[in-house]
Amino acid sequence: MKEISFTLNNELRSVYVEPNEVLLDVLRDKLGVKSPKCGCERGDCGACTVLLDGKAVRSCLVLAIEVEDHSIVTVEGISADKLSALQEAFIEFNSFQCGYCAPGIILAVTELLLQHPHPTLEQIKESIAGNLCRCTGYTPIFDAIMALTKVEHVPSQDGKQMLPEEEQQ
Amino acid sequence: MAIAHEFGYERPQSLHAAMTMKNSFRAKAFVYAGGTDLVVNIKEGMVKPELLVDIKDIPDLHKLCLDNGTLYIGASVTFTELIDTDFVRLACPMLHDACKTVASSGVRSRATLIGNVCSAVPSLDSATPLLCYDAVVHCGSIDGVRNIPISQWFLAPRKTAIRDNEIVTGISLIIPKEESTSVYLKLGRYGGEDLAQAGWGIWMNKDRQYRVAHCALAPTPARATKIEAMLCGKELTDKLIEEAVALVPQEISPISDIRSGKEYRMYVSGVMLKRGLKAALDRLNGKEVEPAKLLGGIS
């Protein structure tokens, strides 16, 4: 066992870990942070996404011992005082049903919006291509993000302008 | 799923310290950077390391630079870093294309090109630019440095020319001085995350020289030397492209697996080569090309 310290959701936390403990398990079972979900456990589904030094990563493929002196942010961290604008948009657009994929998608998109405040639909799709959702069919997720980032129009493949408002109807 | 297997973890601060650990533990020490392959392999019992040597604190291994016609990529440089670096895209468009097709953004922000190259799976997207740009793999150990041409690196599926006391410190690509361009086409079953059913990389210059490489179509990624020789010096006409496509069956030996049948891989390779050659020519003539759109389907 080794004691490691790292910043978790803007608080300095210390925890004893073995080298073979993955970050997802330590967050959930030792530190009580339950928003990262355990899905495929092999990096395919994105349910365990957390931000490591601001980058969306798979916490099921990160060893806990290596985050010493680094920063981890989960959904608990981005909504400590109140829900983020992105979370509010997800509620407004009914963007999740069972909710299992939601923390991962919210963090992946949070990272995207830091780099691209006004992403294209393609950039949005690319950013969550590794986050599986089996309920929504993704459309309400795209709608929420596009409405939030005020994407005025997205040229569809046949060249017509597709307004987000029209998509919702 | 917790990891049942127990191992040690070290985070050396210098390359020499890392090489010393690798030398004493040999094959029982695994170099650890992104972990996106290695942690899965440990979880599933495919490998049982005694020691993980985390190389992410070693500054020498995080170098990424373009110097005097050589693009150097250090061992801990991630795919995201490569994609976001302008001089990589400008110097080696095929590498930029290929990096964008690897897994998903959440994996690419950790996964490294060198880790990918060391995994040596047949479907290695990043291998085609390395083959076309005559890359050299730099292997370091306490015995010294070995520089291995990429053409001698891939020995068999998941097997490379590395020795058990060596660490791959970086990889160098030779960027041609003359005006040239390149493109990488990947076919997956869907956009995002899927491994390649087939991948084709094409490089060309204004002197009508061509380099062609493929992945997921043979035991290892490889150059298509017969096609290159046939194309060499000739203007890229529709007739010439048809002649190149006719050589595809002599260049590849695809198998059937979960992602595709061998007959489909053989057929679609001709389509990909044709569109890839045209796309490379378009790029050479200054047109914008988005490789993900060249094969249709959903993105």
Beta strand ranges found along chain A (DSSP E): 2-8, 11-17, 49-52, 55-58, 71-73, 154-155, 161-162
pLDDT of residue A158: 44
* CATH number of the domain bearing residue B132: 3.30.465.10
Give the domains, in start order, of chain A with CATH numbers.
2-78 (3.10.20.30), 85-168 (1.10.150.120)
Q: Is the confidence at residue A165, as pLDDT, over 70? A: no
| Number of structural domains chain B divides into | 3
Quick one: B225 and B240 in the same domain? yes
pLDDT of residue B299: 44
Quick one: B128 and B70 in the same domain? yes
Q: A74 and chain B: CB distance < 8 Å anywhere?
A: no
Average pLDDT over residues A111-129: 93
Quick one: B141 and B186 in the same domain? no
pLDDT of residue A64: 98
| Distance (Å) from the alpha carbon of B180 to chain A's nearest alpha carbon | 28
Q: Which residue of B has its CA nearest to A105?
A: B106
Q: Is the confidence at residue A25, as pLDDT, over 70? A: yes
Average pLDDT over residues B2-24: 97
Quick one: B164 and B212 in the same domain? no
pLDDT of residue B156: 97
In a domain, residue B25? The reply is yes
User: Using one digit for the tens of pLDDT, what is the confidence trace for B148-203?
Assistant: 999 999 999 999 999 999 999 999 999 999 999 999 999 988 777 788 999 999 99
pLDDT of residue B242: 97
Contacts of B56 in chain A (CB under 8 A): 66
Last residue of a domain, one of B127, B151, B174: B174
Average pLDDT over residues B102-108: 94
Quick one: B80 and B169 in the same domain? yes
Helix, strand, coil percentages in chain A from 3-state DSSP, rounded to 5: 35, 20, 45
| Distance (Å) from the alpha carbon of A7 to chain B's nearest alpha carbon | 18
Last residue of a domain, one of B142, B174, B206: B174
Beta strand ranges found along chain B (DSSP E): 8-10, 29-32, 51-54, 64-67, 70-74, 136-141, 144-149, 154-156, 159-160, 167-174, 180-187, 198-205, 210-215, 222-223
pLDDT of residue A167: 41
Average pLDDT over residues A132-157: 82
The reply to whether residue B109 touches residue A43, judged by beta carbons under 8 angstroms, is no
pLDDT of residue B2: 83
Q: A165 and chain B: CB distance < 8 Å anywhere?
A: no
User: Using one digit for the tens of pLDDT, what is the confidence trace for B229-271?
Assistant: 999 999 999 999 999 999 999 999 999 999 999 999 999 999 9
pLDDT of residue A80: 87
Q: Which residue of A has its CA nearest to B297?
A: A157
Distance CA B190, CA B154 (A): 27
Quick one: B104 and B154 in the same domain? yes
Q: Is the confidence at residue A157, as pLDDT, over 90? A: no
Instruction: Say what the pTM is.
Output: 0.93
ipTM: 0.92
Please name the residue ranges forming H helices in A64-163: 75-78, 85-92, 102-115, 121-127, 139-148
For helices A85-92 and A139-148, what crossing angle results, to 10°? 130
What angle (nearest 5°) sits at the alpha carbon of residue B35, between those of residues B15 and B115?
65
Range of the domain at B241: 180-292
Quick one: B46 and B118 in the same domain? no
Distance CA B126, CA B102 (A): 8
